Structure 1
Amino acid sequence: MVGRILRSADFQRVLAMPPRSRSTHFAAHHVPACPSVPAKPQRQVISTELSTGDAPSCPPAVDDLPAAAPEPAPQGQWLGLVVPKKHARRAVTRNLIKRQMRAVMASAGAALPAGLWVLRLKAPFDRQVFTSPGSVPLLQAARDELHLLLQRAAAPRR
């Protein structure tokens, strides 16, 4: 199963990388990492002591800080979708394209390396060719192009 990227920091991290593969209308970005985890908010401790007491101590020396644990190897895939209104004006079209992105990722995901994936619509489909925003030809064209895009992305990098 493919998880969802939810945090904007993860989207920014993946989109900062160059596309792993491109097609006429889409781009696939990939980072071999796990999604970031939000920091737990620290509980505020209310003290009954006066603030004129002892001054706070200095922070610990850098050498005394615990070592940061290395990020674990990613297991699984997380998907983020970017379908801007600039390229798909009608909600029907945006939803159709997002459904196709999820379906193709679910079917072709086993061949792809683990990590964070963002599929992005980078150019609009021609309105002269696809007159209806939710048409079957548009659905088939998007699906075929996404299959090709992910096949290229699955190929080993040189």
Structure 2
Amino acid sequence: MQRLKTRAQFQAVLAGKTVARTPHFALHRAALDVLPVPPKTTATSAPPPTEPESTRPQALFGVQDVWVGAMAPKRWAKRAVTRNAIKRQIYQVVQAFEPRFPQAAHVVRLRSTFDRKVFVSATSEPLKLAVRTELEQLFGMAVTKVGSAP
């Protein structure tokens, strides 16, 4: 499993298809945009490049693998400790589902807030359990869609 790191990677995946939704999360998926790597050549066999290195097209995703990113906006999780706890849960749960995911880029996005009156502590066990349960439901829906696709 590879993690998404750049803004361009996240934007490319968010522009893709939403494959599953739960009350608090959405899962976006996009096919990998991998450019073929040119074969290694010696200095005498290939002419020097005519354009600078920075103007060549770059692949957003360097390898064919399952790519995952997590988004927990401040709008829906005000405290940093809550956002970080949710992201950690996302990455832990996705590891269990990774073998069943297609080789594509995925973003799990928090799309609504967890009620602070119900979950008082940002790292409470009830919040962790609620997040984990909903993420398992989200990934379960996404995996069944992949398995039922023709």
- The TM-score normalised by the length of structure 2 is 0.76
**Structure 1, unpaired ranges of 5+:** 43-67
Separation (CA, whole Å) in 1 of partners of 2:119 and 2:132: 14
Structure 1 contact 81–120 (Cα < 8 Å) conserved: yes
* Segment of structure 1 superposing worse, 6-15 or 85-94: 6-15
Identical pairs, percent: 38
Amino acid at match of 2:13: V
Paired residue for 2:111, among 122, 133, 142?
122
Secondary structure, counterpart of 1:117 in structure 2: strand
Over the aligned positions, Cα root-mean-square deviation in angstroms equals: 2.3
Other-structure match for 2:5: 6
**Superposition map of 1:1-158 within 5 A:** 2-34=1-33, 40-41=53-54, 75-155=64-144, 156=146, 157=149
Amino acid at match of 2:5: L
Count the aligned residue pairs. Answer: 126
Secondary structure, counterpart of 2:89 in structure 1: helix
Separation (CA, whole Å) in 2 of partners of 1:106 and 1:33: 19
Structure 1 or 2: larger helix share? 2
Structure 1 contact 10–35 (Cα < 8 Å) conserved: no
- The TM-score normalised by the length of structure 1 is 0.73
Larger radius of gyration: 1
Regions of 4+ moved over 6 Å? none
Structure 2 contact 34–64 (Cα < 8 Å) conserved: no
**Residue 128 of structure 1, CA deviation:** 1.3
Separation (CA, whole Å) in 2 of partners of 1:75 and 1:17: 17
**Residue 112 of structure 1, CA deviation:** 1.1
Q: Deviations over 1:3-62 (max 9, x none)?
A: 1112212211110123110001000001121468xx9326xxxxxxxxxxxxxxxxxxxx
